[in-house]
Amino acid sequence: MHTRDSVMASSNPVFGDDKPVDRKASLAGSINPSRAYERYVLRRVIDAMGSPSFTVILWDGFSVAPVHKRPIATVHIHSHAALMLLLRYGDMGFGDAFSDGSITVEGDLVGFLVEAFQNSQPPGLAGLVKRLQQPKPRANTHDGSRENIHHHYDIGNNFYQLWLDAEMQYTCAYFPEQEMSLEAAQQAKMDHICRKLQLRPGDRVAEAGCGWGGLARHMALNYGAKVSSWNVSSEQVSFAVERARAEGYDDRVTYVLDDYRNISGEYDVFVSVGMLEHVGRDHYPALGEVVDRCLTADGRALLHTIGRNRSRLMNPWIEKRIFPGAYPPTLGEMMDILEPHRFAVLDVENLRLHYARTLQQWLVRYDASYDEVVDQFDDEFGRAWRLYLAGSQAAFLAGALQLFQVLFTRERNNTLPWSRQHLYPG
């Protein structure tokens, strides 16, 4: 890596002739040239990032470009207002300006975001101050959860069908071979989970947060399990119920439009894939009590969740605009669910790079359906979701997010497989 020796105060030789492509931004850009203090602050921000490999161009052509290396992307800031949003509100301002088109990124969006993630964690006191300033995620009380989930998951099944796989798996896939298709990798993810849970015919399964019902269907049809799945997203549950009836497995799977805290009954297996992100730290003890209440003596349980290596709030833009109430825990924080009940962790697997790959494939499909997205919603929505998918891929690539699968049982369960060999057949 070269170091940034100086900041070029001229237009970039490669991208300098680029014209803003966005009409709105183009209009905004015509108003005033950038001022000396704006240029100064921009330089300071970019210098603080070390040696980033992207170019930044302001509305008047002023640019800051990498030294001794070819830029992977060019960030166009199309107005004074957009620059102010970015400098004042950081990730939040960037997200909103990207969504309204007053910041655009040309070139490798994900690569640019990886660099931004790797350099956006202020250390020491500055980091602490930033964290204290960030508002807590919206509360996940019973009512709060329903609203938070509604915000994200009830925006239309048609929309998700544009870019998810056929099974509508909206969680990290598992690629036993790196080059397999998304469709195959989502099937492999479901099988990997079923094998970890030693799922057997006749097993009673409680699922907390079932999405569009694909895993419950897979467990019933391919493993002979009897599944009850809870979810507070009415759109998702309607879809799942309708499919179960149409395909005739509604005798083996029950989808319940209710909060996971109301799960009742006794089960051989407890599974939750991609719900813990929406539970919130305050409610981990409640989740632990649910599992403790419903799991048999020899029962197996699995939590699959986005996580962190160190405690940190969700990216504020994602939390506000995309996923209200979301919080990805560290492994240590997850133990607040398990340790009060002395649950024994048998296996933790981190599938971080699998989620990066999943998101990459979602983004390809999303871009291919971009016009339909804009037709269903509008440009701002289309750009916001593009940033969310690309930013999430970048966060997993940069190590800012992890994907933990945690398998556990009761402390005194000695009916365990002797090794994990059974997870790797063939």
Output the smallest distance, CB 421 to a second copy, in A.
5
Output the smallest distance, CB 202 to a second copy, in A.
24
Q: Looking at residues 219 to 248 of the shown chain, list those that interact with a second copy (rule: CB under 8 A).
A: none
Binding mask 358-397 for a second copy (x = CB under 8 A): ---------------------------------------x
Residue among 142 and 420 whose Cβ is closer to a second copy: 420
Does residue 335 interact with a second copy by CB under 8 A?
yes
Does residue 276 interact with a second copy by CB under 8 A?
no
Q: Which of 81, 78, 132, 137 has its CA nearest to residue 106?
A: 78
Which segment (90-98, 261-269, 316-324, 342-350) binds a second copy by CB under 8 A? 342-350
In a 13 Å sphere around the CA of 181, the CA atoms on its Cβ side amount to 7
Residue among 146 and 304 whose Cβ is closer to a second copy: 304
Which segment (134-142, 173-181, 214-222, 268-276) binds a second copy by CB under 8 A? 173-181
- Cα dist from 10 to 32, 47, 180, whole Å: 17, 16, 45
Output the smallest distance, CB 187 to a second copy, in A.
15
Residue among 83 and 173 whose Cβ is closer to a second copy: 173
Tokens standing for residue 14: 């490669």
Does residue 131 interact with a second copy by CB under 8 A?
no
Which of 15, 260, 385, 404 lies at the binding interface for a second copy (CB under 8 A)?
404
Does residue 118 interact with a second copy by CB under 8 A?
yes
Tell me the C-alpha distance between 270 and 196, whole Å.
Answer: 12
Does residue 51 interact with a second copy by CB under 8 A?
no
3-state secondary structure the chain: CCCCCCCCCCCCCCCCCCCCCCHHHHHHHCCCCCCHHHHHHHHHHHHHCCCCCEEEEECCCCEECCCCCCCCEEEEECCHHHHHHHHHHHHHHHHHHHHHCCEEEEECHHHHHHHHHHCCCCCHHHHHHHHHHCCCCCCCCHHHHHHHHHHHHCCCHHHHHCCCCCCCCCCCCCCCCCCCCHHHHHHHHHHHHHHHCCCCCCCEEEEECCCCCHHHHHHHHHHCCEEEEEECCHHHHHHHHHHHHHHCCCCCEEEEECCHHHCCCCEEEEEEECCHHHCCHHHHHHHHHHHHHHEEEEEEEEEEEEEECCCCCCCHHHHHHHCCCCCCCEHHHHHHHHHHHCCEEEEEEECHHHHHHHHHHHHHHHHHCHHHHHHHCCHHHHHHHHHHHHHHHHHHHCCCCEEEEEEEECCCCCCCCCCCHHHCCC
Which of 226, 352, 383, 386 lies at the binding interface for a second copy (CB under 8 A)?
352
Residue among 236 and 315 whose Cβ is closer to a second copy: 315
Residue among 222 and 311 whose Cβ is closer to a second copy: 311
Residue among 153 and 284 whose Cβ is closer to a second copy: 284
Residue among 98 and 175 whose Cβ is closer to a second copy: 175
Which of 45, 84, 139, 348 lies at the binding interface for a second copy (CB under 8 A)?
348
Does residue 257 interact with a second copy by CB under 8 A?
no
**Starting from the edge strand earliest in sequence, which strands make up the sheet with 54-58, in order?**
63-64, 54-58, 73-77, 103-107
Binding mask 303-332 for a second copy (x = CB under 8 A): ------xxx------------------xxx
Residue among 158 and 415 whose Cβ is closer to a second copy: 415
Does residue 16 interact with a second copy by CB under 8 A?
no
Residue among 55 and 402 whose Cβ is closer to a second copy: 402
Binding mask 189-208 for a second copy (x = CB under 8 A): --------------------
Which of 59, 270, 343, 355 lies at the binding interface for a second copy (CB under 8 A)?
343
The residues of the shown chain that bind a second copy, judged by CB under 8 A, are: 118, 174-178, 309-311, 330-332, 335-336, 338-340, 342-350, 352-353, 397-400, 402, 404, 410-414, 416, 418-421, 423-424
